[in-house]
């Protein structure tokens, strides 16, 4: 349920904003904000939990485990739930994925563990692994106690740059092994992607911060906020290496790819990630301006999240433009269907060729594309979509390239253990060539890098 503070001014008259006469706040009623921005997948009740757990075959070669980037022993934790031990199940989950609560909410389970479930192949209805994982992790976290204790202090110190999923997972595993960890983050709040980059209806009620607070109970972790690598007055990689025995870079991707289309600098054209971050940090959604006509460019999860939330804020027409077919969209079929169910229109095989307006965006000129032997080509078949806002979701790049580690394709190069070619520097998450914009993958990379860092610190 949304806090009262988010609703108290929703009934006030619609307020004009400096952006455009068509971009206004307060388009919807207070009840609409509550209904549409509440939990997308609410928790199962105890009876439903038992029914869901009883459907698991407890496969010995469990394809669901192979499909999970963190390798959680899914049959084991479901068996523990089925036998009335949800906290034991949570421990099984957290042993592999310390952010199991977040992943239970935001992972595309339909393409990972549930997509590989034997029940899905046989019946088209997988075991509800994500919701069972949420039941277990929520049960333990509700105790307000932490299941892990620190090992004896090693006297070693590690800097973790970035308080997103990769950084938090790395920091927790290192702290658990007795190392002192300092997390440096550029934002005023920790959480990274979970706090700033995921649709509000997937992780409501401030869960991202609750999970961070719970994780930090391990002890031995210091959090430094509003600190940016390379920024004058903060510090650089050499300084971190001088102060710490090892450095883990989990800086994410703060830069946004350009469309390369005329009019990209018009007012009303912004990155989808900035829009989502603003929405996630807005206490009163009735005060967040949205246009009548919104165009989102891209086909991944960020594009879907931006489009759906624009619709839920009250935009009348929301259109997603994707350059290839729907079958080729990075967003899962489930996410696409969610967008369509909310009234979002998806136009496939189309790209923007110009953004039109006199200082402020008024329309997006588009052209259809065609795939052929030479790849994707833009045809002469064009059309125009009215738009007061355009959200770019065509991918991100490193905002500031750190000096030291090798970079390829705009991302830090690492080996399988997360090591870079820079001395005593590891990296993980979306900032690396192995990242794939998933919380669960970032957690796995942070965890595995921590194990390698620990070995290095102990053995030299």
Check: CB of residue 247 under 8 Å from CB of residue 427: no
Q: Is the dihedral of CA 119, 120, 121, 123 positive or negative?
A: positive
* Distance in angstroms between the alpha carbons of the first and the last residue of the chain: 50
For residue 442, the tally of other CB atoms under 10 A from its CB is: 35
Determine the Cα–Cα distance for residues 432 and 426; give it in Å rounded to an integer.
10
Q: What pLDDT was estimated at residue 144?
A: 80
Pairing of strands 361-372, 350-357: antiparallel
Determine the Cα–Cα distance for residues 285 and 315; give it in Å rounded to an integer.
13
For residue 356, the tally of other CB atoms under 10 A from its CB is: 15
DSSP class of residue 282 equals -
450 exposed, middle or buried (CB, 10 Å; 0-12, 13-18, 19+)? buried
Instruction: Give residues with Cβ within 8 angstroms of 345, minimum separation 6.
Output: 317, 318, 319, 320
Q: What pLDDT was estimated at residue 435?
A: 85
Mapped onto helix, strand or coil, the DSSP state of residue 259 is coil
Contacts 24+ apart (CB under 8 A), 420-427: 420/249, 422/237, 423/241, 424/241, 424/245, 424/246, 424/247, 424/456, 425/237, 425/241, 425/246, 425/247, 425/248, 425/249, 426/170, 426/246, 426/247, 426/248, 426/249, 426/452, 426/453, 427/248, 427/249, 427/250
Domains of the chain: 46-141 (1.10.1060.10), 157-254+398-459 (3.50.50.60), 256-392 (3.50.50.60)
Strand partners, 295: 319, 390
Cα angle at 274 between 273 and 280, to 5 degrees? Answer: 90
Q: What pLDDT was estimated at residue 200?
A: 96
DSSP class of residue 205 equals T
Q: What pLDDT was estimated at residue 21?
A: 52
Q: Tens-of-pLDDT digits for all 460 residues of the chain?
A: 333 333 332 333 333 333 345 899 999 999 999 999 999 999 999 999 999 999 999 999 999 999 999 999 999 999 999 999 999 999 999 999 999 999 999 999 999 999 999 999 999 999 999 999 999 999 999 988 899 999 999 999 999 999 999 999 999 999 999 999 999 999 999 999 999 999 999 999 999 999 999 999 999 999 999 999 999 899 999 999 999 999 999 999 988 888 989 999 999 999 999 999 999 999 999 999 999 999 999 999 999 999 999 999 999 999 999 999 999 999 999 999 999 999 999 999 999 999 999 999 999 999 999 998 888 999 999 999 999 999 999 988 887 777 889 998 889 999 999 999 999 999 999 999 988 889 999 999 999 999 999 999 999 7
Among candidate residues 239, 261, 214, the one with its CA nearest the CA of residue 98: 214
CA count, 13 A, side-chain hemisphere, 284: 13
Among candidate residues 276, 316, 278, the one with its CA nearest the CA of residue 300: 276
Instruction: Give residues with Cβ within 8 angstroms of 353, minimum separation 6.
Output: 261, 262, 365, 366, 367, 378, 382
Determine the Cα–Cα distance for residues 97 and 170; give it in Å rounded to an integer.
11
Strand partners, 365: 354, 384
Q: Residue 57, by phi and psi: left (phi above 0), alpha (psi -120 to 50) or beta?
A: alpha
Backbone angles phi, psi at 347, to 5 degrees: -105, 115
Backbone angles phi, psi at 411, to 5 degrees: -135, 155
């Amino acid at each position: 349920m949304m806090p009262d503070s988010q609703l108290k001014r929703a009934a006030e008259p619609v307020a004009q904003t400096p952006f455009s006469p068509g971009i206004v706040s307060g388009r919807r009623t207070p009840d609409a904000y509550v209904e549409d921005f509440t939990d997308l997948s609410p928790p199962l009740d105890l009876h439903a939990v038992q029914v869901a757990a009883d459907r698991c075959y407890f496969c010995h070669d469990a394809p669901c485990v192979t499909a999970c980037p963190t390798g959680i022993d899914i049959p084991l934790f479901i068996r523990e739930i089925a036998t009335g031990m949800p906290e034991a199940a949570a421990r099984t989950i957290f042993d592999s994925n310390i952010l199991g609560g977040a992943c239970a909410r935001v992972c595309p389970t339909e393409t990972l563990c549930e997509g590989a479930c034997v029940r899905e192949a046989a019946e088209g209805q997988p075991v509800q692994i994500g919701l069972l994982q949420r039941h277990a992790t929520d049960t333990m976290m509700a105790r307000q106690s932490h299941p892990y204790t620190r090992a004896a202090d090693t006297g070693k110190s590690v800097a973790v740059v970035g308080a997103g999923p990769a950084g938090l997972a790395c920091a927790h595993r290192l702290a658990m092994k007795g190392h002192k960890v300092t997390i440096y983050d550029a934002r005023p709040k920790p959480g990274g992607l979970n706090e700033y980059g995921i649709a509000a209806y997937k992780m409501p009620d401030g869960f991202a911060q609750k999970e961070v607070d719970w994780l930090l109970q391990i002890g031995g972790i210091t959090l430094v906020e509003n600190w940016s690598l390379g920024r004058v007055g903060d510090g650089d990689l050499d300084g971190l290496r001088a102060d710490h025995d090892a450095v883990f870079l989990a800086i994410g991707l703060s830069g946004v790819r350009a469309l390369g289309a005329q009019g990209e600098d018009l007012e009303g054209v912004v990155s989808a990630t900035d829009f989502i971050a603003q929405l996630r940090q807005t206490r009163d959604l009735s005060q967040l301006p949205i246009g009548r006509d919104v165009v989102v460019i891209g086909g991944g999860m960020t594009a879907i999240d931006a489009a759906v939330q624009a619709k839920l804020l009250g935009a009348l027409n929301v259109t997603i433009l994707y350059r290839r077919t729907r079958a080729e969209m990075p967003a899962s079929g489930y996410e696409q269907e969610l967008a369509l169910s909310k009234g979002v229109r998806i136009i496939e095989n189309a790209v923007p060729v110009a953004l039109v307006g006199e200082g402020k965006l008024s329309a997006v000129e588009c052209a259809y594309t065609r795939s052929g032997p030479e790849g994707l080509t833009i045809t002469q078949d064009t059309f125009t979509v009215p738009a007061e806002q355009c959200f770019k979701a065509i991918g991100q790049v490193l905002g500031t390239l750190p000096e030291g580690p090798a970079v390829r394709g705009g991302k830090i190069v690492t080996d399988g253990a997360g090591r870079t070619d820079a001395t005593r520097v590891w990296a993980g998450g979306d900032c690396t060539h192995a990242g794939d914009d998933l919380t669960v993958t970032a957690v796995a990379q942070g965890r595995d890098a921590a194990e390698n860092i620990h070995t290095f610190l102990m053995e030299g």
